[in-house]
Amino acid sequence: MDGMGIGILKGLGVTFKHFVNTFVDDAKYAGKKYFNQDIFEERQGLSAAGAYTVQYPEEKIAVPERFRFVPFLVVNDYDAEDKPGEDWCTSCGICAKVCPPQCIWIVRGEDPNTGRPVPQPEAFYIDIDICMNCGYCAEFCPFDAIKMDHDYELASYDRTGHHIYDKQKLSKEYRYWYSISPTRAVDEAVERGGWEHKDVIKDKKKAAKQAGKEWNPDFSVYPGDLRGTQAAEAEAPVAVVEEVAPEPEIDENRIERIRASRQQALARRRQRDG
Amino acid sequence: MTMTDQVGPDLKTTDIEGAIDALKDMFPGVVSDDTREGYSGVMVDADKLVEVATAARDQLGFDYLSSATAVDYGQPDPDNPIDDPVIDGSMEMVYHAYRTSGGGALAFKTKTDRDKAEIPSLIGVWPGADFQEREAYDLFGIHFAGHPNLKRILLWDGFQGHPMRKDWKEAYYEQETKPFDSRWPGGHVHRAEEKNAYGKNVRYPADFDLSKLNDTSEDQLYAGMGLGVDIETLSGEPHMKTDRLVVNLGPHHPSTHGVFRMIATIEGETVNTLEPVMGYLHRNHEKIGERNTYLHNMPFTDRLDYISSMGNNFGYAMAIEQLLANGKRYNPPTYRAEVIRVLMAELTRIVNHFWSIGFLLNDLGAFFTPALYAISEREKILDFFEAAAGSRMMCNYMRFGGVAYDVPERIRSVASLVNDQVRDFDTMEYLTELINERLPRAIDELDRYLTDSEIVRSRTIGVGYLPPEAAIAYSTAGPLLRASGVPYDVRRADPYSIYPELDFDICTRDNGDIYDRYVIRLDEMRESIRILKQVLPRLEKTKGEDFFAGSKQHTPRVPIGEAYGRVENPKGELGFYVISAGDKKGTQNPWRYHVRAPSFINLTPLGLMSTGTKVADVVAILGSIDIVLGETDR
């Protein structure tokens, strides 16, 4: 052979370096490599060396602002001054048209007396099994009313019953959108000319003009943040809040709980297998 | 010969118009201009097709058949006729031939009758027409006279009908084109399987007889392999008691990178004949594409070669932009958009080649350590894709006239499901570090790790040889073609985007074996790094400029005509042949949408390369071609 095995040794050197680096990296963090917020950021960055494992589900890789998963519908904050919980969707149907796998069904609202369409969807369904997470609906919605979510944990035990999301399940507060994607939320608000829905801004601008005041919203801070969240919860229709806008789960003992349930499952299996 | 002497050698370098004129002179009355609005190229009479193609190859120098595909101009609905003379109830084969020395396409078409569709096969002129003609036969029902192995390629043999014909309706057929009327304003929600004619589980209709199911695929396949021949008479060795053994590799086999099957006849350990069998992942991407609007197709292209979705987006956007350019309201992509596209395309090339090298080593038996080393840096690129486009692999990033979003200023992750503020980098710093430090380091490491390894060398050098003439004739593309010493790269041969102003070389290797196909991928990654280093200052300079031209439309009307857009994807030349027809004012849905898939066409010479090698080498040869089944089977 040409190299008399030198090439293999060179290659093995690379493997050995990787092997050592992993331990060097472990040693660097002195046992605090996992479940550690600051180090997690470093490990996900460009300075990371050596192999590492993300301890899912205790740890999760952070998703960037533009990350897109199954869409949700934006509604007014439940503690908003006027029309809390109102849909931003005007049932114009653009999302249903631009959806490549055609997984969106919208029933346009109609005035029961006149029969004319009203700018509110009567029903809104998304089949999340069909959704291909392309993000067109959010991209082309003229009212910023449909947005892509960051919640990718949608597994359920029964897909037939649970995977067609209705309006209630799809609706989330504007505050939630602001919380998962602040940069884009501000950019869009600046483009709309205010924090509110396009149509509301139009009315408010008109009112401000009549009152002789200048329409000059403050984009540096989201008004929802100023409102006390606790007061908000008291005002909001409680049942809907629980169903519709689940707050991000804050559970101190989550990791412990998951571990415990795993242990239990293992124990059960051992028992079964004898 | 005398003909060649008469016309002189300059015909091989003349421009496309000159070539067309020469063809018309050579074949008066047979070759005529394609005068349909928005079309280019020539029409050729079917009975002289082989002669014309031979002349184009030998005398005009169009030695490389890029794409051969069929189009059905049939009437979809007799009750609802379309006022368009293009849709005349005929069928057509469309060929795009190129010169390996560079330049534009010689497009020639042959019409045939829809009911009795028959066209002479061009397999004798360009063997690369083999799979493409079989695909046209499978999906359109066109018979190719003279094709030695004309059988279905993507569908099974008992399949009823030819699905790409306009009058064929698929299961759950709802409406001719999207968007469907049932979605809005009165949205009737239903699950697709609830409409299943056979109920919740499969229940056969009353008159259905399973034993009458006519699937002769396997018989045909084995007959085509020359089975049933007595090996003793074949070898002339009366004492040798041996059978010709048939080995099926796949469809479920880890070496096949997906659901792909190779059927080989072997003598001892040596492969006699080998034929790839594919279509297990077939979903009729093209039929879906014809139902879709133009924009709908963009995320579907992600799913072709899912390792390099940015490149797929690029090719499709370019094809539609060609069509749009005939209309008046179209603005070409801005300079910044082009810069971003090239940035993404080259990063994709690095991602793909890392994958491809890693998995080649898997195929050689080095189970997963090289693969994991190779793809660890890929994560960093995907992080950037995710921050820019929203998804790591299904990027869906490009639009007609630019890109979907600007490159973000910061790669930032905010309050997620558990983690809080875990990532925040400046994009330019991130890219600079990645391109100048980490990626070159990773490529060098891979080089040090594998290139000199005696095991890799002894397994790959001289195995799976593909001579350059065969590489061209079999329409191979990408690293497979260039490793055989043919310096053909669409980025230079038929330049697009901002590639003409960038300084980079086309890598070639001369031996045409697996080893060279491995090394050329390292070379190409280094060239990509070179390009990216030139792209970064351009990205910095154009900061704040428009990344999209004009206004975004969710259902653009595309002017009628045809377009063939192609890019140099990591796996080879990816082409999109799109026809807009049916509405004079422009259409919302493509009439024809064809993907010239490099993973598919590069498999054509697999049998040729494998003959005479050992069974274990076949796996490595397949790995060196680098296929993705999402693109092969479409």
Q: pLDDT value at position B3?
A: 46
**What is the rounded distance in angstroms from the CA atom of residue B438 to the CA atom of residue B520?**
20
Q: Which long-range contacts (CB under 8 A, 24 or more apart) does A252-260 make?
A: A254/A58, A254/B418, A255/A35, A255/A58, A258/A57, A258/A58
How far away is chain B from the Cα of A168, in angstroms, using its nearest Cα?
15
> Angle formed by the axes of helices B369-389 and B335-363, to 10°?
160
How far from the centroid of its chain's Cα atoms is residue A247's Cα? 11
**What is the rounded distance in angstroms from the CA atom of residue B512 to the CA atom of residue B389?**
37
**What is the rounded distance in angstroms from the CA atom of residue A188 to the CA atom of residue B233?**
79
pLDDT > 70? residue B314: yes
Tens digits of per-residue pLDDT, B182-208?
888 777 777 666 665 554 555 566 777
**What is the rounded distance in angstroms from the CA atom of residue A130 to the CA atom of residue B528?**
36
pLDDT > 90 in chain B, percent: 29
pLDDT > 90? residue B519: yes
B259: alpha, beta or left? (left if phi > 0; alpha if psi -120 to 50): beta
Residue B71, helix vs strand vs coil: strand
CA distances (Å), B431 to each of A31, B529, B536, in order? 31, 11, 8
- Give B 493-552 residues with CB within 8 A of chain A: 552
CA distances (Å), B299 to each of A132, B307, B564, in order? 8, 14, 19
Task: Name every chain A residue with its beta carbon within 8 A of the beta carbon of B454.
Answer: 1-3, 5, 7-8
Q: pLDDT value at position B402?
A: 87
pLDDT > 90? residue B351: yes
Residue A222, helix vs strand vs coil: coil
Single out the residue of B72, B70, B50, B185 nearest to residue B125, CA to CA: B50
Residue A47, helix vs strand vs coil: coil
Q: Which of B189, B423, B452 sits opposite A10 (nearest CB)?
A: B452
Q: Which of B391, B417, B423 sits opposite A45 (nearest CB)?
A: B423
- Give B 421-440 residues with CB within 8 A of chain A: 421-425, 430, 433-434, 438
Quick check: B413 and A59 CB within 8 A?
no
Residue B240: band (very low, low, confident or very high) from pLDDT cuts 50, 70, 90? low
**CB contact, 8 Å: B200 with chain A?**
no
Pick from A2, A97, A103, A129 the residue to mutate for testing the B interface (most B CBs within 10 Å). A97
Residue B343, helix vs strand vs coil: helix
Quick check: B414 and A180 CB within 8 A?
yes
Tens digits of per-residue pLDDT, B255-286?
777 788 888 888 878 888 888 888 888 989 99
Q: Please state whether the peptide bond connecting residue B185 to the residue before it is cis, i.e. omega within 30 degrees of 0.
A: yes
Give the dihedral sign, CA B201/B206/B207/B211. Answer: positive
How far away is chain A from the Cα of B502, in angstroms, using its nearest Cα?
27
- In degrees and rounded to multiples of 5, residue B335 shows phi and psi of -65, -40
Structural contact between residues A8 and B454, judged by C-beta atoms closer than 8 angstroms: yes
Structural contact between residues B592 and B92, judged by C-beta atoms closer than 8 angstroms: no
Quick check: B448 and A10 CB within 8 A?
yes
pLDDT > 90? residue B532: yes
Task: Name every chain A residue with its beta carbon within 8 A of the beta carbon of B394.
Answer: 132-134
Question: Residue B502 forms beta bridges with which residues?
Answer: none
**What is the rounded distance in angstroms from the CA atom of residue B470 to the CA atom of residue B460?**
19
Task: Name every chain A residue with its beta carbon within 8 A of the beta carbon of B299.
Answer: 100, 132, 134, 136
Structure-model confidence comparison of residues A237 and B419, the more confident one: B419
pLDDT > 90? residue B346: yes
How far away is chain A from the Cα of B373, in angstroms, using its nearest Cα?
9
Would you call B390 exposed, middle or buried from its count of C-beta atoms within 10 A (0-12, 13-18, 19+)?
Answer: buried
Q: pLDDT value at position B135?
A: 92
* Closest chain B residue by Cα to residue A118: B185
Q: Which of A5, A14, A51 sits opposite B454 (nearest CB)?
A: A5
Relative to beta strand B42-44, strand B252-253 is: unpaired
Structure-model confidence comparison of residues B458 and B87, the more confident one: B458
Mean pLDDT of B546-556: 82
**CB contact, 8 Å: B554 with chain A?**
yes
Q: pLDDT value at position A240?
A: 39
What number of C-beta contacts closer than 8 Å exist between A and B? 204
Q: Which of A1, A98, A164 sits opposite B189 (nearest CB)?
A: A164
Q: pLDDT value at position A212?
A: 84
Structural contact between residues B316 and B576, judged by C-beta atoms closer than 8 angstroms: yes
Mean pLDDT of B523-533: 93
- Give B 264-293 residues with CB within 8 A of chain A: 292-293
Task: Name every chain B residue with its beta carbon within 8 A of the beta carbon of A65.
Answer: 387, 408, 412-414
Task: Name every chain A residue with its beta carbon within 8 A of the beta carbon of B457.
Answer: 1-2, 7
* Closest chain B residue by Cα to residue A14: B449
- In degrees and rounded to multiples of 5, residue B608 shows phi and psi of -60, -45
- In degrees and rounded to multiples of 5, residue B578 shows phi and psi of -125, 135
Q: What is the 3-state secondary structure (H, E, C) of B181-220?
A: HHHCCECCCCCHHHHCCCCCCCCCCCCCCHHHCCCCHHHH
pLDDT > 90? residue B342: yes
Q: Which of A1, A59, A248 sits opposite B454 (nearest CB)?
A: A1
Structure-model confidence comparison of residues B438 and A271, the more confident one: B438
Pick from B421, B454, B547 the residue to mutate for testing the A interface (most A CBs within 10 Å). B454
- In degrees and rounded to multiples of 5, residue B531 shows phi and psi of -65, -45
Pick from A63, A111, A124, A164 the residue to mutate for testing the B interface (most B CBs within 10 Å). A63
How far away is chain B from the Cα of A208, in angstroms, using its nearest Cα?
31
**What is the rounded distance in angstroms from the CA atom of residue B58 to the CA atom of residue B46?**
19
Total residue length of chain A: 274
**Whole-number mean pLDDT of chain B?**
84
**What is the rounded distance in angstroms from the CA atom of residue A75 to the CA atom of residue A82?**
12
**CB contact, 8 Å: B455 with chain A?**
yes
CA distances (Å), B601 to each of B273, B575, B626, in order? 19, 12, 12
Name the strands in the sheet holding A171-173, side by side, starting at the edge strand that comes first in the sequence: A146-149, A69-75, A171-173
Tens digits of per-residue pLDDT, B137-175?
999 989 998 888 888 889 887 787 888 988 888 777 778
Task: Name every chain B residue with its beta carbon within 8 A of the beta carbon of A183.
Answer: 408, 410, 412
Quick check: A104 and B187 CB within 8 A?
yes
Residue A126, helix vs strand vs coil: strand
Quick check: A107 and B187 CB within 8 A?
yes
pLDDT > 50? residue B380: yes
Structural contact between residues A232 and A77, judged by C-beta atoms closer than 8 angstroms: yes
Q: What is the rounded (10 degree) CA torsion for A73, A78, A83, A87?
A: 10
**CB contact, 8 Å: B295 with chain A?**
yes
> Angle formed by the axes of helices B439-446 and B514-541, to 10°?
170
Pick from A4, A12, A35, A65 the residue to mutate for testing the B interface (most B CBs within 10 Å). A65
Structural contact between residues A45 and B405, judged by C-beta atoms closer than 8 angstroms: no
Q: pLDDT value at position B4?
A: 45
Contacts of B97 (CB under 8 A, 6+ apart): B53, B56, B57, B62, B63, B64, B65, B66, B105, B106, B107, B108, B126
Q: Which of B388, B394, B414 sits opposite A182 (nearest CB)?
A: B414
* Closest chain B residue by Cα to residue A66: B390
pLDDT > 50? residue B544: yes
**CB contact, 8 Å: B361 with chain A?**
no
Q: How many CB atoms lie within 10 A of CB A241?
A: 17
**CB contact, 8 Å: B187 with chain A?**
yes
Assembly ipTM: 0.80
How far from the centroid of its chain's Cα atoms is residue B121's Cα? 21
Q: Which of A11, A97, A102 sits opposite B450 (nearest CB)?
A: A11
Task: Name every chain A residue with its beta carbon within 8 A of the beta carbon of B555.
Answer: 97-98
**What is the rounded distance in angstroms from the CA atom of residue B5 to the CA atom of residue A260?**
86
Q: What is the 3-state secondary structure (H, E, C) of B591-614?
A: CEEEEECHHHHCCCCHHHHHCCCE
Per-residue pLDDT of chain A in tens (274 residues, 90 and over written 9): 455 788 888 888 888 988 888 888 778 777 777 777 677 777 777 777 766 777 777 777 778 888 898 899 998 888 777 787 888 888 888 999 999 988 898 888 888 888 788 888 888 888 888 899 999 999 999 888 999 988 888 888 876 667 888 888 888 888 888 888 888 888 888 888 888 888 888 888 888 888 888 888 888 888 777 665 544 444 444 443 344 444 445 455 655 665 666 667 667 667 766 6
Start-to-end CA distance of chain B, whole Å, equals 42
Pick from B375, B553, B554 the residue to mutate for testing the A interface (most A CBs within 10 Å). B554
Quick check: A164 and B404 CB within 8 A?
no
* Closest chain B residue by Cα to residue A100: B296
**What is the rounded distance in angstroms from the CA atom of residue B572 to the CA atom of residue B550?**
31
